[in-house]
Amino acid sequence: MRTIAGGRKIDFAGNRIYPTFAQIKEVTEGNGSVPFFNLMNYPRTVMENETVKAVESLVQAMLAGETGYFLVDVRIKPTHNVKVYIDGDQGISIEKCVQYNRALYKKLEESGLFPAGDFSLEVSSPGLDEPLKLHRQYRKNIGRQVELVLQDGSKKEGRLVDVSEDGIIVEETKGKNKKKEVTSHTFLFDNIKTTKIQVVF
């Protein structure tokens, strides 16, 4: 029997990459032998999704009394590193993230989601390199410069001026002074692949 490592599986929801291992056995069939493949250590995506949902529920309960803050995302690595991204309508301070980290860590210990306390926890706000995910994030960033990547791969840049239930309006500025031209573009959320905030100095 031979064991080889090969292939990777990508979970697009969490951008996680897992190694998979294939076990090859020589199985006698008739006058010869044929290879029989058996996948080992296959990622338990269903179990992981359930764990993510459980963590999300704990965070939502923790935020229930503070309507100015909201959960953006929960990501769990195979090493049980739990990353929780929280944002606020007026932003969120480092002190607030530390407060939530301590409270959530205690809840995770009590929950038994990770046997023997085998987990690490990070609570932070989404970085500027993280694309906007929620309608609430779009609204809090009205007035800021954004870069859009559309579903066809094309890019657009401009100032986010309005957000509706279906999409956004972005103002694109070309030229300067008397040659300055401002054009408004409407983009439906269904046609947007990613939206990132741009830092303007």
| Tokens read off for 42 | 């296959």
The verdict on 57 and 88 lying in the same domain is yes
Residue 75: inside a domain: yes
Are residues 139 and 77 part of one domain?
A: no
User: Looking at residue 100, which CATH number applies to its domain?
Assistant: 3.30.300.70
For the chain, the maximum distance between any two Cα atoms, rounded to a whole number of angstroms, is 86
> Can you give the pLDDT of all 201 residues of the chain as single tens digits?
333 333 333 333 333 333 333 333 334 444 444 443 333 344 546 778 899 999 999 999 999 989 999 999 999 999 999 999 999 999 999 999 999 999 999 999 999 999 888 999 999 999 889 999 999 999 999 999 999 999 999 999 999 999 999 999 999 998 888 788 899 999 999 999 999 999 877
pLDDT for 115 equals 86
Q: Are residues 33 and 71 in the same domain?
A: no
Distance, CA of 134 to CA of 87 (rounded, Å):
10
- The domain total for the chain is 3
CA–CA separation, 160 and 39 (whole Å) = 48
* Residue 93 maps to a domain: yes
Whether 129 maps to a domain, the answer reads: no
Give CA–CA dist 125/101, Å, rounded: 12
Nearest residue to 185 via CA among 199, 198, 195: 195
151 and 188 inside one domain = yes
Residues 36 and 98 in one domain: no
Contact by Cβ (8 Å): 14, 52 = yes
Q: Which pLDDT value is given to residue 123?
A: 98
Are 50 and 117 within one domain? yes
Is 130 part of a structural domain of the chain? no
191: in domain:
yes
List the domain range (segments joined by +) for residue 165: 135-197
Q: Do 36 and 49 sit in the same domain of this protein?
A: no
Instruction: Please tell me the distance from the alpha carbon of residue 11 to that of residue 199, in angstroms, as a whole number.
Output: 30
Q: Do 145 and 112 share a domain, yes or no?
A: no
The count of other CB atoms within 10 Å of the CB of residue 163 is: 18
Q: What is the CATH number of the domain that holds 154?
A: 2.30.30.100
Question: What pLDDT was estimated at residue 73?
Answer: 97
Within a domain: 163: yes
